[in-house]
């Protein structure tokens, strides 16, 4: 996305009811506006994880008065707050915007050791390398083997869906995630990309 498009999107998304964190949003624009060649893939992963994690955690009940709502990246960044799905979705699309190959990224849904539903991003440099987990509960990306408190159930990206067996992927079981919340996020993202071209 270009800086001009991001600023226009920010202005278009402002509303009297929204709590707008303009400096957080402008920092996001600076992050994704860096030339791709300036940073290695690992540096991008670290910067995005640390930057997005500076947002405030707020449950969907606190923000929207509903049990579950998935914000698109602009909504989350504009507010500077959200729940685990919002953090993960913002990280996923920010990394894509910075040129990280989607084949290295998955949104992972699972359960924490207390049974709480949770979502994070897994980054896998090579198909056989151990995933690094980008999570709003940790300060830095963490190797999957160190996260004994999280049990992955399924993972997905924009085009595939996998059931998880530990951190192993089997063959994709679906060409896309059949989840209305995810489809809404994709539709908004795709519309924003069309406008920016």
Calpha distance 106→103 (Å, rounded): 8
The architecture in CATH of the region 3-196 reads Roll (3.10)
The reported pLDDT for the residue numbered 185 is 93
Q: Mean pLDDT, 10 residues at a time, over the chain (197 residues)?
A: 47 43 82 85 95 96 94 92 97 95 96 97 93 96 96 92 82 75 90 56
Q: Whole-model pTM?
A: 0.86
The reported pLDDT for the residue numbered 47 is 95
Sketch the domain layout of the chain as residue ranges: 3-196
Q: DSSP string of 87-153?
A: HHHHHHHHHHHTT--GGGEEEEEEEETTS-EEEEEEE-SSTTSPPEEE-TTSSS-EEGGG-TTEEEE
């Amino acid at each position: 996305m270009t800086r001009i498009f991001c600023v226009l999107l920010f202005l278009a998304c402002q509303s009297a009811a929204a709590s707008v964190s303009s400096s957080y949003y402008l920092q996001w624009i600076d992050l994704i506006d860096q030339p791709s060649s300036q940073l290695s893939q690992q540096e991008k992963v670290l910067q995005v994880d640390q930057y997005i994690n500076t947002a405030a955690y707020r449950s969907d009940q606190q923000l929207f008065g509903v049990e579950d709502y998935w914000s698109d990246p602009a909504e989350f960044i504009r507010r500077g707050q959200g729940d685990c799905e919002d953090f993960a979705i913002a990280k996923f699309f920010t990394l894509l915007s910075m040129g990280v190959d989607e084949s290295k990224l998955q949104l992972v849904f699972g359960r924490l050791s207390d049974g709480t539903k949770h979502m994070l991003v897994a980054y896998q440099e090579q198909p056989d390398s151990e995933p690094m987990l980008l999570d709003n509960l940790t300060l830095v990306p963490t190797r999957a083997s160190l996260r004994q408190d999280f049990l992955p159930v399924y993972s997905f990206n924009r085009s595939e869906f996998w059931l998880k067996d530990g951190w192993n992927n089997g063959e994709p079981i679906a060409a896309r995630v059949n989840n209305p919340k995810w489809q809404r996020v994709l539709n908004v993202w795709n519309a924003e990309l069309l406008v920016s071209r």
